[in-house]
Structure 1
């Protein structure tokens, strides 16, 4: 498990923050899969430092509840309050909301941190209103992207794949929890394009959980090679990868 009350929590904003245009691209992509009516009440499950929560409030015009277990990350989110957002201490397995209280749940790169994925999905079903939609934005072990920075860290791809379940396993868990999964993985391209220098600066903060699990003898040499490449060609545009998501529905 990654301790987001420690070093990771302190570097998350700088290493994983999103500019406003990127937030808007994400929320617009989510809107395609949610009811068109407004307002919609949304649970941002694993809201972290609140990088998406205010954008969800702006997009869907209802209440947004950011539920986050890390005190450090939740307190960082609360430093930029938004009138439409309430941050709460909780976890996927223990969501501090009543039954049938939200229209949508966003799970943005949190599923691999849950201690009990089945119980978490049961909780998601519980808090969704009938007909509500849960968006499981995660990586899947059988459709992993070939990220450009893997070349610097030989074990990184295997480390990442080991964190995630397959598409079929996620669909099976959702079905067992009483949710109806979509048949296909949704792909979204929303990240900002970045130069090699910008990519190095963000990744060097080690705000990705990958770096918590890499062999120690790979990390410093990998960043040294990355830094050298960034110095040689700082303005090179690095690839932007599509993100994967499953759409889950609570039956009416």
Structure 2
């Protein structure tokens, strides 16, 4: 699988291409709240956003639950995150899931939100996450799974889109086994649907920025054909709302 180099590609457009509306973020925060531990004696929770990118979720997590450290290997993505948000309870640090530069047992929870498929050494990452999260703490993963791939409306227009997208992700049982063997216990695999991101026309404009990993794995011809088909489909009803996107959440508890 070709790795996306976020220091040379996507970083300029990622925030705009993957922006979330207020109602979408509110739904996500509600879903996270149901999976996170209770606040000890009412104190804020300390969180880690691993693979935080341009900080799509990090400030919202901090506002809802307490201080968050965004861990991101890309210099450019961190620069964009810092430029977009100066939240007092957020810091961004260089690091990766396999090497998280925070003290042992210093976090109440960690999230990996569409970043697991970028992790090269998943067993090492599972152990490192177990190191930094306190016993009883939580881990929330939002990812695709090769054997549990959802239907994504726009991807059906791209030749081989579903097949190539599935290859990017590990199967669910493999992820569960990896984390179970590293000090984690599965709590839930919960259905969640991200609310509509807007109209078909708005979504087409964001997709043209090509900030989804799948675009790095389609050929030039497949991308051209896909956008031609997608544009024809969207032209039929550009102002209609797109469907919500299935986004199941896998959660673990630190043993």
| TM surpasses 0.5 | yes
For the Cα contact (< 8 Å) 1:28–1:59, is it kept in 2? no
Structure 2: stretches of 5+ with no match in the other structure: none
Alignment partner, residue 210 of structure 2: 206
| In 2, Cα distance between equivalents of 1:191 and 1:4 | 27
**Residue aligning to 2:241:** 237
2: CA distance between counterparts of 1:136 and 1:116?
16
1:216 paired residue number = 220
Give the 3-state SS of the residue equivalent to 1:148 in structure 2.
coil
The counterpart of 2:150, out of the listed 145, 149, 155, is: 145
Matched, 1:126 2:134: no
Q: Counterpart in 2 of 1:187?
A: 191
How do 1:1-252 residues align onto structure 2 when only pairs under 5 Å count?
Answer: 1-37=3-39, 38-60=43-65, 62-79=66-83, 80-182=85-187, 184-251=188-255
- Give the direction of change, closer, same or farther, for the CA distance of 1:147–1:190 in structure 2 (3 Å limit): closer
Where 1:40 maps in the other structure, the secondary structure is coil
CA deviation vs aligned residue, 1:117-147 (integer Å, no higher than 9, x gap): 1101111100001100000111111111111
Tell me the TM-score normalized by structure 1.
0.95
Once residues 179 and 251 of structure 2 are traced to their aligned partners in structure 1, the CA distance between those partners, rounded to angstroms, is: 10
CA RMSD across the alignment: 1.3
The answer as to whether partners of 1:134 and 1:248 remain within 8 angstroms in 2 is yes
| Deviation >3 Å, runs of 4+ | none
Deviations 1:7-66 (A, max 9, x none): 211110111111233222211210101122241000000111111111111111x21000
Q: Which deviates the most, 150-159 or 127-136? A: 150-159
Distance in 2 separating the partners of 1:130 and 1:178 = 9
Give unpaired runs (5+ residues) of structure 1.
Answer: none
Matched residues in 2 for 1:36 and 1:175: separation? Answer: 22
Distance 1:94 1:85 in 2: 19
SS in 2 for 1:246: strand
SS in 2 for 1:83: coil
Give SS of 2:191's match.
Answer: strand
| d(CA) in 1 for partners of 2:185, 2:104 | 18
